[in-house]
Structures are given as C-alpha cells and as structure tokens.
Structure 1
Amino acid sequence: MSGISHHLLLCATASKAKCCDPTVGAASWDRLKQLVKQLGLEDPGRAAGIVLRSKADCLRICERGPVLLIWPDGCWYGEVTPERLEPILRQHVIAGEPIEEWLIQRTPMRCNQATAN
C-alpha cells in the first residue's frame, strides 16, 4: 500500500441541519461511498494511495451545504450534491485540479517537521 492520498470529509447529515437539507446530505453521502468504491479509490494497491472518506456531523461552515473538505489540499466545496461528486472526484482527487468555481474556502495544511540533528 502506498499510503493515503486524500481524506474526504463530508458534512452532510448535521444534527442541526443548518447547512443543507438532510435528505440531500444523505444522498450525497451515499453517492460519495458509491463513487469511492466504483472508481477504485479505496484499493490498497492504488499507486497514488487510498482515499479515505468520513461523514462529519458539522464542519462549522453552516451555509451552502453539503460541504466537502478535501485533505491535505485544504479545499472546501459547497453545495456538494450527488451530481457534483463525480466531477469533484475525477477532476480534483484523481487529476489533481480543483474545480475553482465550486470552492468556498481554502485552508492549506501546514506540516511542522522536526529537523534531525
């Protein structure tokens, strides 16, 4: 196994339902699970590394949901309906090109690396 290439966090079924209609959120979550499997993104033999997915109750952006956060890229997508998931996975996760017009925020990950002495 090559490791992990991406972790997808989908805020889709928030208990407070402030960011999206819970039925849309649930449908997006179901579609995400289906596509990750269908596209072979969870295959341990995948050269680029596996893609993890997690359903989040709330990512604290209570608007334009469902909201998808892609790590380590720090890209936040809004209005992630089931129809938007396949283009996001194919263009961003697989091809490495974020879909700029659907992004609502960027928070690049910073790694603190200890220097060896």
Structure 2
Amino acid sequence: MQRVSHHLLLCATATKAKCCDSVLGAQTWNALKSIVRELDLENAARPEGIVLRSKADCLRVCERGPILLVWPDGIWYSDVSPDRVKRIMEQHIIGQQPVEEWILKRTPFEAINGVLSAEIRPQINPGKD
C-alpha cells in the first residue's frame, strides 16, 4: 500500500446542490484533478506520499461552497474555485502552509491511545437531506 500524505475531499457536485452552483462545482473538481496531476502529487515516488482526491456529494456545510476538506490536517476551505485550487495545492499541500484567509474551520486530529481522531463539531448550518 502506498503512503498517503493528504486526502482532499471536495464537496462540489451534490445531487441537491445547496452550497454552490453545480457548474462552478464541476469546474472546481476538474481543476483539482488537473492541478494534482500537473504538480505530480499522485506520484508514488513522492517521499511525502501521494495525494488522494475524492469528489464528495455533500460535506454537510451547505454554504460557501465548493468546500475543500484537507485531511489529515483538518482544514476546511470555503469558496474554493478553479482559481484558488492551484494556490492551495502549492502553498498548503506542497509548502505545508495553509492559506489562512480561505479557511472556514479547523478540525485537527489528535492522537488518543495511538489512534487518530478528529472533533468535527460544531457543524456550520448542517444540511437536511
């Protein structure tokens, strides 16, 4: 199994779009895929590990989307657009410095008895499905 440095979850193309316009969400997802490839972040030879990406139907924020959740850092970015994706990848994922002005919230991991866990509350306007 390959080492993973980050897993990026993008809430952008929900079937019941509440957080953002579905066209903007799809464009942001396509930009994320493209930039991850362009920056060679899926390369198994990266010493830090590969960067995984997943398109999430809903992260239950339901406002200020698209929302990008960066694990294991527990950083939630709001209003993520195709224009913002590259800076997040370069500054946060590669440079290890989150883009502070775009952070919606933080849910950092803690080690409890050797097991990682994260506190996810309080939710911001949780969606009702």
Shift of the alpha carbon at 1:110? 2.3
Show the counterpart of 1:48: 48
Show the counterpart of 2:60: 60
Q: Secondary structure at the match of 1:6?
A: strand
Shift of the alpha carbon at 1:111? 3.4
Q: Deviations over 1:42-73 (max 9, x none)?
A: 00001111000000000000000000000000
Q: Tell me how many residue pairs correspond in the alignment.
A: 114
Shift of the alpha carbon at 1:2? 6.2
CA distance in 1, matches of 2:17, 2:10: 13
Q: Deviations over 1:1-34 (max 9, x none)?
A: 8610000000000111000000000000000000
Are residue 108 (structure 1) and residue 74 (structure 2) matched? no
Show the counterpart of 2:126: none
Q: Deviations over 1:61-102 (max 9, x none)?
A: 000000000000000000000000000000000000001110
Are residue 96 (structure 1) and residue 125 (structure 2) matched? no
Runs of 4 or more consecutive aligned structure 1 residues displaced over 6 Å after TM superposition = none
Show the counterpart of 1:16: 16
Show the counterpart of 2:73: 73
Change (3 A) 1:56 1:15: same
Gap runs ≥5 in structure 1? none
TM-score normalised to the size of structure 1?
Answer: 0.94
Gap runs ≥5 in structure 2? 116-129
CA distance in 2, matches of 1:68, 1:91: 14
